Structure 1
Amino acid sequence: MAQPDDMLDDEDYPAYTMGRAAEIVGASQDFLRRLDEAKLITPYRSAGGHRRYSRYQLRLAARAREMVDHGTALEAACRIIILEDQLEEALRHNQNQGQQQAA
């Protein structure tokens, strides 16, 4: 079972309610719902069905809000962020493969 300290350090732990997430991101709750519809972030659901967000998801949402604030369409911003995230993961994977081959 995860210890509380482990959960605090876990980027994927769904620690934030929708209201708190919107406050942190500086956006409306509707904006967060639209990010879910656009498939950028899929919030976790509590036992009662309430949306819960992780720090990682909040970073993505903040990036989307920033791009939308600068005139990028929401759907385009979400697609760009998804592609950036995929590229970062691929680069991290390639770096790990290179380190394993060097060892």
Structure 2
Amino acid sequence: MTADDSFSRLDDDDYPAYTMGRAAEMLGTTQGRAIGEARFITPLRSPGGLRRYSRYQLCISARARELVDGGTSIEAACRIVILEDQLEEAQRINAEHHRTTNR
């Protein structure tokens, strides 16, 4: 792997760069596993077996935490975030479809 390959991962939202401790710190929470136990996100594992999270996973976890902090149950918050993510993806695909058919 070259240095360029390593640096390109810094921009990859799906690269599992964050340890559980760092993820908890960034989300302002403890290293509890509430979202993990709800099977909302599944961390990847480092070669040493440590849990690693991507920037994308942290973003959706932060959104779920925002909902939970507002009084939504964790199960409902996870479902809401999943549906929001699916809607965003569908809108992206639809916009791309319109761009390619209107050329």
TM-score past 0.5 threshold? yes
> Among the aligned pairs, what percent are the same residue?
61
d(CA) in 2 for partners of 1:17, 1:56:
14
Report the equivalent of 1:44.
44
Secondary structure of the residue that 1:29 maps to in structure 2?
A: coil
Secondary structure of the residue that 2:72 maps to in structure 1?
A: coil
d(CA) in 2 for partners of 1:59, 1:28:
16
Secondary structure of the residue that 2:16 maps to in structure 1?
A: coil
Report the equivalent of 2:15.
13
Which of 3, 11, 16 pairs up with 2:5? 3
Report the equivalent of 1:58.
58
Report the equivalent of 1:71.
71
Report the equivalent of 1:25.
27
1:62-101 alignment runs, 5 A limit: 62-101=62-101
Contact 1:27 1:65 in 2 (8 A): no
Output the TM-score relative to the length of structure 1: 0.91
The one-character-per-residue Cα deviations of 1:64-93 (angstroms, maximum 9, x if unpaired) are: 111111111000000000000000000101
User: Runs of 5+ in structure 2 lacking a partner?
Assistant: none
d(CA) in 2 for partners of 1:26, 1:68:
13
Question: In angstroms, what is the RMSD of aligned CA positions?
Answer: 1.3
User: Runs of 5+ in structure 1 lacking a partner?
Assistant: none
For residue 66 of structure 2, what is the amino acid of its counterpart?
A: E
d(CA) in 1 for partners of 2:90, 2:98:
12
Output the TM-score relative to the length of structure 2: 0.91
